[in-house]
Structure 1
Amino acid sequence: MRPLGSAALILAVLALGGLSGPALAASYDFVPAPQTDLNRIYRIDRITGEVSSCQYGLQEGTVGVTLCYSAGEGAGAQPPGEYGLVASRHEREGGVFRVNYRTGQMSICYVFDERVVCTPQMTPSPAASTAAPTAATPSVSSGMGASPQRP
């Protein structure tokens, strides 16, 4: 009896279903909010970019409850892509960045009024990412609730 070649072996495993379906790729990614006193986890659908979130909540007389927030404005399904979540290192930040690894677009997602909301997806322009801030390209402060600084 002749041993199977590597290509034949791979085809045999695939035919038996050993490497198909969920074993090839996970549907969701999970990332904690960077805020150190917040027990919130964000979830993203890696294909659609839809974002939701859950956290632990106290409830008298029980071990507690899981509070979940569904996708609200801007957090719903986006054009198909390769999405992920990235938490900043800002210890007081309750939100996370939604990134599209194929296009480079980013948005910020956070819980607001018991829903997860996200800002519109944006791609930084090459000129803005290499140039120093000017009156035409305002810088952003690094504090909580960052807003453009005015000259």
Structure 2
Amino acid sequence: MKLSRITSGLFSIALISLGYAAEAAAEEYRFLPAPQIDLNRIYRVNRLTGEMGACQYAVKPDTVGIALCHPAGEGAGPQAVPGDYDLVRSNHEREGGIFRINTRTGEVSVCYVQTDKVVCTPQAK
């Protein structure tokens, strides 16, 4: 009887752990629109690596349009230290960039689209 309680408890712990792992995998990326009110751009950050990207709608004649996506450029690639990265908008309605924050270290950088890539300032505290 004791063994079956232990086995049952371990099975429950394993199921809970799988649930947390699935939830973490489902939240690998965070998305947030740019604060600029007349810009249809959305930013994305990989929550573990800090790698940035951005996409926006673009009009293309004779089609419904396209999603124009900008890959990571200078400072926007995977960061040297894994963390728990997130995105924060400013309250400035004409700001096209976004803040990338590391909630583990408190570091902040500002990211924006420059030409055809997302670039970010060096992280600072």
1:2-151 mapped onto 2 (5 Å cutoff): 8=9, 10-11=12-13, 13-14=15-16, 17=18, 19=19, 21-25=21-25, 26-78=27-79, 79-123=81-125
**Structure 2 Cα separation of the partners of residues 121 and 12 of structure 1:** 37
More helix by share: 2
Q: Note the residue ranges of structure 1 that are not aligned, 5 or more in a row.
A: 124-151
**Structure 1 Cα separation of the partners of residues 24 and 78 of structure 2:** 22
**Percent identical:** 53
More strand by share: 2
Computing the radius of gyration from Cα coordinates, the structure with the larger value is 1
Counterpart of 1:116, as a letter, is: V
Greater relative CO, 1 or 2 (CA 8 Å, sep 6+): 2
Aligned partner of residue 87 in structure 2, secondary structure: strand
Q: Structure 1 residues 101, 14: closer, same or farther in 2, change over 3 A?
A: closer
In the comparison of the two structures, how many residue pairs are matched?
120
Q: Which residue of 2 aligns with 1:140?
A: none
Q: Note the residue ranges of structure 2 that are not aligned, 5 or more in a row.
A: none
**Structure 1 Cα separation of the partners of residues 87 and 73 of structure 2:** 17
| RMSD of Structure 2 on Structure 1 (CA) | 2.3
- Runs of at least 4 residues off by over 3 Å: none
Counterpart of 1:44, as a letter, is: V
- TM-score scaled by structure 2? 0.86
Counterpart of 1:96, as a letter, is: I
Q: Please report how far the alpha carbon of residue 20 of structure 1 lies from its aligned counterpart in structure 2 after TM superposition.
A: 5.5
**Structure 2 Cα separation of the partners of residues 33 and 66 of structure 1:** 16
